Chain A
C-alpha cells in the first residue's frame, strides 16, 4: 500500500467534530480544536502506524490538544453554548420517550472525563482497553467512568423511574406518584 494515510483524514472529520463538540460543548471552540488536530495529524503523520485505527489515533491527538489548551486557559470561564443539543432534531424518537435534545442536554452535564469515556465506548465502539489507552488511564477507571455516566444519564432522564412504572402495575404507579409532565 503506497496510499498516503493523510488522504484518509477527511473521512474522520465529521466524527472528530462531534467528539470535539462533546468535549468543548461549544461549536466554535470545537472547530478550532479540529483544526489544530488536523495540523498536528498532518505534520506528524509519520507517527501514525499504517494499518492501525486512524480514528483512535486522531481522537487521541484531539483529546490531548483539548486538555493542554485547557490547562493553558485555566482561568478562562468555559463557554458552553448549547450547540451539543441545539444542532439536533428536536422531535422525539419514533418509539422513544426521549428527545435527542433533552438527551444531549443531560449528557452535557456529565463531567468531562465521563463524557469522553462514554463517547469512546458507547458511540465509537472502542473496547475498554482502547479507550483506556486513548485517555491514558487504567481500564478499571474507564469502566467506572462509563458506568457512572450511564447511571447519571438514566437518573437525569428518569429512565429508571419509567422502567419501574412499566414493569409494575398501576397500583405501584399510584404509590410512586409521578410528577406531572411539564
Chain B
C-alpha cells in the first residue's frame, strides 16, 4: 500500500510540477540533448509511475510489494479486527480503475495519432518519390527556396531543395547534418509522443507543456549535433542565410525569437554538466528524472509511519 501511495504521489507531483523544474533545463547553459532527455524520460516516467500506481492499487493487500523496503507489516497492510472497511476497498479499486483507464486512453490516442501520421507519411513519400530527383540518401526538390526537412519513421527520409545546393558546402553539410540528427535521435517519434500525451490529458500541466518544449529542444539538440560535427560557424551562417532568404514569405520565415534563441544556444557556454561527454546525457538525465519518484516514495513512507505511530499500531 505504501508503494501504491508513493507512486500515486509521484504521478501527481510530476504531472503538476514537472514543467516547473524541467523549465530550468531549457537554457543555453544546459546542453539541449540533456534537456531533451530529461523531458522525454519524465514523460515516460509519468506513464510508468501512473501505471505502476494502478497495478499496486489493484493488487490485494499482503502481496509483499511493501516488503521491498521493510514495510510489509506496517499498520496499513495489516488487517485489524474490525478495521477493514468497505470504502477503503472502493477507493483503492476505484483509483486503480481510473489510472488504468487513463493509461489506456493515452495508448488509444497514441495509436490513433501514429496511424494518422503513417497514412500521411506514406502518401507524402509516394508523392515525393514521383516529383523528386532521388540520389541515394537525399531526395531533391527543384525549388529555389533553400529548405531541408525530414520525415520520420522507418526508414526516415531527408528532403532538400535545389536552393540548398547553392549555399556554401560547409553550410549545406551542417544543415543536412541537422536533419540526420533528427532521424538518428528519433525526434519525430518524441514529438509525436508528447503530442499524444497533450491530446489525451490536456488537463495535466506537464502534458500540456511538453509538446512545445520538446519541439523546441529537438531543434536545438539537432543544431548542437550539427555544430559538433561541422563546427558552430557553418550552422550559424546557414541559419542566418536561410532565415534571411525565407523572410519575404512571412508566414514561413522563422520567427525572430527562434533565430535569436538558436544563435544564443550555439554560442552557449555550458559549465558543469556540459563538460561531461554528450554520450552520458541520456543516462544522467534519466537518473535525475527519477528523483521525484524517490521523493514521493520517501514522503509516502514517512506519512505511513507517522500515521501508524499516531494510531499506535506500528
Physical interaction between A and B: no
| Residues of chain A whose beta carbon lies under 8 Å from any beta carbon of chain B | none
